[in-house]
C-alpha cells in the first residue's frame, strides 16, 4: 500500500466526524458568519497577540503550540469577531490542531515564520497544522509555514516501499465553510503542502507554495470532497503536482496561477477505490505552466471501480517547456501496479481545451488516451498551438477512444493518427490521498 493509499484510510476517519457545513454563500470567496458551538464560555473578541498575551517567544526554541492553542480557545469561544496575531519573528511549532466549531468568525494574522521540527521522526502522524470544522475563517498576514522537509525527502522510499512512512502535510483545511486564505506562504513541506478536505466555499488568493523540484510527494494544493474551491493569482513551485484533484472535487475555479517546477495540474487519479464521489465543474484558466512534467492532465486507473468526471475546462493557458502539455490518461499505471487488460470504468465527459499555446519539451504534445470500455464524450479542442523543436520534431498528437470536436488552429494536428503508445506507467509511485476516502489523488 503506497503513501497516498494509506493517507486515504486516515482521511476516511476524518470524514466520520460531523460537519457543520452550510450552503455556499452567494458570491464565493469571502467568509460570512460564524459557526455555532465551540469552546465553553465566551470572550469578547478583539485582537489576541500570542507573544504579548500568551507568552510565545520568537526564539526558534520555545514551542508555539500551547500559546497558539490558548489564543485559539479564547478566540473560538467569542461570539464577536476575533483576530489572533502571530507577529514578526521566527517561531518553532511542534504541532497544532485548531478545532471548531466556533461561536464567531476567527481571523489569524501570520506575520512571522513558523517552523516545523526538521526531523520527521518527531511526528506520530501526517499532520503538522490542521484547521478543523470552522465557519467564517480567514488567514493572512504575509507569513510563512516552513515544513523544513529536506530530511524527510531524503527518507522518502514510497516509490519502492508500499508501507513507507507517512510524513506530515504542512497545512490541513478540513470541513471549513466560508474561508478565505490569502498572502500566506507554505514552503519545504515534508509531504503535501496543503490539503483541502470536506470544505465548502474556500478561497486561496495570492497564495505561495515553495518547494524545490527534487522534493518528493509535495503536491502544492490537493483538493478532495470539497465544493466551491477558488484559487486565484497564486504561485506554486514544487516537486509534484501544483494542484491535484481527488474524488468529490466540485465547482472549482483556478485562475491566474503560475505553476512550475513540478508535475503540472492533475485531475485524479480516479477509480482506485469503490464509492468514489463524482468530479464535476473544474475550470482552469489564465495560467502559466513552466518546466513541468505535465501540463493539464486527467487520469484514471485501468480496471477501475466505476465513476464519473465531467465539466472540466482548460482555457487560456501558456505552456513553457512542458513535457506533456495536454493529456488524458485512462491507462494510468505507475510502476505497473495495476491490470492493464481491463479498461477504466471512469466515464469522462464534457471536456474542453481552448487556447492552449507555447512549447512542449516532448514530441507528443497532445495525448488523449480514453477508456476502451467508456470512451470519452464531448471533448473539444480549440486553438491549440504547441511547438516542439527537438531533433525528432515536429510535435504530434496521439488519440484513442475519443472523437473530439475541433475548431481554430490545431498545432499539432489533433488525432491525425491512432495511438501507438500509452502514457500509463510514465508517472512514478502511486500515492494515497488525504483528499477523502476514494481519492488516490495525483502522482507525477
> How many other CB atoms sit within 10 Å of the CB of residue 186?
27
Query: Cβ distance 60 to 94 under 8 Å?
Result: no
Catalytic residue among 159, 182, 263, 313: 263
Give kind and range of the element (H or E) at residue 127: strand 127-140
The predicted-structure confidence for 314-332, as pLDDT tens digits, reads as follows 999 999 999 999 999 999 9
Question: Exposed e or buried b for every residue in 237-269, given b needs 16+ CB within 10 A?
Answer: bbbbbbbbbbbbbbbbbbbebbbbbbbbbbbbb
The predicted-structure confidence for 220-254, as pLDDT tens digits, reads as follows 999 999 999 999 999 999 999 999 999 999 999 99
Domain ranges across the chain = 117-153+168-411
Q: Tell me which residue of 267, 264, 270 sits closest to 282, measured CA to CA.
A: 267
Q: What is the dihedral of CA 390, 391, 392, 397, to 10 degrees?
A: 10
Judged by average pLDDT, the poorest of 42-51, 93-102, 154-163 is 154-163
6 has pLDDT over 50: no
Query: Cβ distance 360 to 317 under 8 Å?
Result: no
Judged by average pLDDT, the poorest of 158-162, 192-196, 363-367 is 158-162
Q: Tell me which residue of 144, 186, 181, 182 sits closest to 168, measured CA to CA.
A: 186
> How many other CB atoms sit within 10 Å of the CB of residue 44?
10
* Angstrom distances, CA of residue 97 to CA of 251, 281, 295: 27, 31, 34
Q: What is the DSSP string of 27-88?
A: TSSS--S--S--SSS----EEEETTTTT----SSSSB-HHHHHHHHHHHHT-SS-EEEEE-S
More confident call, 172 vs 162:
172
Sequence-distant (6+) residues with CB within 8 A of 167 are 120, 123, 126, 149, 152, 156, 190, 191, 217
* pLDDT (mean) for 11-26: 38
Q: Tell me which residue of 270, 197, 167 sits closest to 16, measured CA to CA.
A: 197
Residue 163: the pLDDT is: 73
Give SS3 for 289. strand
- Sequence length of the chain is 444
Give SS3 for 268. strand
Q: Tell me which residue of 184, 332, 171 sits closest to 263, measured CA to CA.
A: 332
Residue 158: the pLDDT is: 72
Q: Tell me which residue of 302, 303, 253, 247 sits closest to 278, measured CA to CA.
A: 247
Q: Tell me which residue of 322, 286, 279, 313 sits closest to 442, measured CA to CA.
A: 279
The predicted-structure confidence for 348-396, as pLDDT tens digits, reads as follows 999 999 999 999 999 999 999 999 999 999 999 999 999 998 999 899 9
Active site residue 206: no
Q: What confidence category does residue 423 fall into, taking pLDDT thresholds of 50, 70 and 90?
A: low
Pick the CATH number of 117-153+168-411 from 2.160.20.10, 1.10.260.30, 3.30.530.20, 2.30.42.10: 2.160.20.10
> How many other CB atoms sit within 10 Å of the CB of residue 214?
11
Amino acid at each position: 500500500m503506497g503513501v497516498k493509499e494509506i493517507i486515504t484510510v486516515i482521511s476516511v476517519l476524518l470524514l466520520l466526524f460531523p460537519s457543520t457545513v452550510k450552503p455556499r454563500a452567494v458570491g464565493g470567496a469571502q467568509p460570512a458568519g460564524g459557526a455555532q458551538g465551540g469552546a465553553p464560555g465566551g470572550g469578547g473578541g478583539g485582537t489576541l497577540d500570542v507573544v504579548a498575551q500568551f507568552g510565545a517567544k520568537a526564539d526558534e526554541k520555545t514551542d508555539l503550540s500551547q500559546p497558539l492553542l490558548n489564543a485559539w480557545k479564547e478566540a473560538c469561544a467569542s461570539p464577536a469577531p476575533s483576530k489572533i496575531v502571530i507577529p514578526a519573528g521566527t517561531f518553532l511549532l511542534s504541532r497544532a490542531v485548531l478545532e471548531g466549531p466556533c461561536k464567531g468568525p476567527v481571523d489569524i494574522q501570520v506575520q512571522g515564520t513558523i517552523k516545523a521540527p526538521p526531523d520527521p521522526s518527531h511526528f506520530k502522524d501526517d499532520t503538522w497544522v490542521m484547521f478543523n470544522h470552522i465557519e467564517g475563517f480567514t488567514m493572512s498576514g504575509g507569513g510563512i509555514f516552513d515544513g523544513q522537509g529536506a530530511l524527510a525527502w531524503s527518507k522518502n522510499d514510497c516509490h519502492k516501499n508500499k508501507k513507507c512512512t507517512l510524513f506530515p502535510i504542512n497545512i490541513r483545511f478540513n470541513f471549513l465553510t466560508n474561508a478565505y486564505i490569502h498572502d500566506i506562504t507554505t514552503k519545504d513541506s515534508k509531504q503535501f503542502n496543503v490539503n483541502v478536505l470536506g470544505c465548502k466555499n474556500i478561497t486561496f488568493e495570492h497564495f505561495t507554495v515553495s518547494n524545490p523540484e527534487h522534493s518528493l510527494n509535495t503536491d502544492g494544493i490537493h483538493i478532495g470532497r470539497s465544493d466551491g474551491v477558488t484559487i486565484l493569482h497564486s504561485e506554486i513551485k514544487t516537486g509534484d503536482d501544483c494542484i491535484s484533484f481527488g474524488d468529490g472535487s466540485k465547482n472549482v475555479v483556478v485562475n491566474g496561477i503560475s505553476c512550475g517546477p513540478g508535475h503540472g495540474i492533475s485531475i485524479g487519479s480516479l477509480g482506485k477505490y469503490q464509492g468514489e464521489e463524482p468530479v464535476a465543474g473544474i475550470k482552469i484558466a489564465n495560467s502559466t505552466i513552466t518546466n513541468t512534467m505535465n501540463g493539464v492532465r486527467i487520469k484514471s486507473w485501468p480496471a477501475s471501480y466505476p465513476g464519473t468526471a465531467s465539466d472540466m475546462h482548460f482555457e487560456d493557458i501558456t505552456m513553457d517547456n512542458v513535457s506533456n502539455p495536454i493529456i488524458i490518461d485512462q491507462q494510468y499505471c505507475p510502476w505497473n501496479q495495476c491490470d492493464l487488460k481491463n479498461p477504466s470504468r471512469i466515464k469522462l465527459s464534457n471536456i474542453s481545451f481552448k487556447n492552449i499555446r507555447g512549447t512542449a519539451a516532448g514530441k507528443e504534445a497532445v495525448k488523449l488516451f480514453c477508456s476502451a470500455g467508456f470512451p470519452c464524450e464531448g471533448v473539444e479542442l480549440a486553438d491549440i498551438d504547441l511547438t516542439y523543436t527537438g531533433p525528432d520534431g515536429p510535435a504530434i498528437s496521439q488519440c484513442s477512444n475519443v472523437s473530439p470536436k475541433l475548431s481554430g488552429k490545431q498545432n499539432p494536428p489533433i488525432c491525425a493518427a491512432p495511438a501507438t503508445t500509452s502514457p500509463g506507467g510514465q508517472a512514478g509511485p502511486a500515492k494515497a490521498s488525504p483528499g477523502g476516502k476514494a481519492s488516490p489523488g495525483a502522482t507525477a
